[in-house]
């Protein structure tokens, strides 16, 4: 899977992890958290999925990376939301695994593209339960900017 950084260009996952580590090492006394969110956009019979990996230096900005892939069919909304969550969980597991291999720990938060308004409100309990059952904290709209703002921007 290839990632894109607005400043560094195309990167592998290992290069993304190296960039995140370098960002953290520039200011090791600051507090950091990693945010991972996925969004999708359906156009005709093709769906674009974007997963964003954001390293947030609390109170002092962030850097982000994203990966994009397409499916040549459309899933129902319920299936798409669960697929988005599973994509975020998959990327989170890969990133955490790479960090663990290097002897580092980092807090990870999954941002879900669901909220109390709109068609996704009925899915909140299930998808939040899925994420929390996987051992991650999560946020929903309006606090889930990793999915609803960053990833959403690159689905267009």
Question: Looking at the whole model, is its pTM more than 0.85?
Answer: yes
Lowest-confidence range among 2-6, 24-28, 53-57, 110-114? 24-28
Domain-by-domain residue ranges, the chain? 3-153
pLDDT at 63: 96
pLDDT digits (tens, 9 = 90+) for 63-114: 999 999 999 988 899 999 999 999 999 999 999 999 999 898 888 999 999 9
Around Cβ 64, how many Cβ atoms within 10 Å?
Answer: 22
CB 38 within 8 A of CB 85: yes
pLDDT digits (tens, 9 = 90+) for 113-125: 999 999 999 999 9
Around Cβ 99, how many Cβ atoms within 10 Å?
Answer: 17
Strand, coil or helix: what is 27?
coil
Backbone angles phi, psi at 8, to 5 degrees: -105, -10
State percent of the chain over pLDDT 70.
100
State percent of the chain over pLDDT 90.
88
Backbone angles phi, psi at 152, to 5 degrees: -55, -35
């Amino acid at each position: 899977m290839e990632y894109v950084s607005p400043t560094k260009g195309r990167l592998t996952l290992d290069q993304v992890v190296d960039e995140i580590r370098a960002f953290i090492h520039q200011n090791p006394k600051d507090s950091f958290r990693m945010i991972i969110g996925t969004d999708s956009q359906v156009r005709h019979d093709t769906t674009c999925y974007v997963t964003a990996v954001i390293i947030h230096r609390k109170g002092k900005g962030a850097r982000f990376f994203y990966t994009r892939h397409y499916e040549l069919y459309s899933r129902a909304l319920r299936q798409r939301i669960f697929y988005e969550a599973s994509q975020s969980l998959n990327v989170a597991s890969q990133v955490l695994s790479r960090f663990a291999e290097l002897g580092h720990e980092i807090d990870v938060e999954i941002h879900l593209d669901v909220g109390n308004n709109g068609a996704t409100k009925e899915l909140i309990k299930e998808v939040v339960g899925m994420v929390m059952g996987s051992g991650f904290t999560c946020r929903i709209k309006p606090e889930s900017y990793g999915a609803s703002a960053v990833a959403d921007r690159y689905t267009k």
